[in-house]
Amino acid sequence: MCHHNTFLVYQSMRDATLERWEKITHVSIGFAWTVAALFGIAGYSTFRALSQGESINDSIDCK
């Protein structure tokens, strides 16, 4: 979904250069990864007692 907006973002940049574009993409992906990791860690630590190991394997009947 995001790749459709890349042209609009690039064209809206002042002094659009490849170096600036690389910096913007790396910073935004790094920020998104950090937020996702923080939410994942917070969710796991909050609901760790309620999670079950191997829940996918338990729901599949392997007969």
pLDDT per residue over 6-25, tens digit each?
A: 888 888 888 889 899 999 88
Q: Is residue 44 in a domain?
A: yes
Structurally, the chain folds into a number of domains equal to 1
What is the C-alpha to C-alpha distance for residues 24 and 32, in angstroms, rounded to an integer?
12
Q: Which domain holds residue 31?
A: 2-52
Q: Is residue 61 in a domain?
A: no
Q: Is residue 39 in a domain?
A: yes
Q: Cβ–Cβ contacts within 10 Å for residue 10, how many?
A: 14
Reported pTM: 0.63
Q: 49: which 2 tokens?
A: 């007692």
pLDDT per residue over 23-63, tens digit each?
A: 988 999 999 999 999 999 999 899 888 876 665 665 555 55
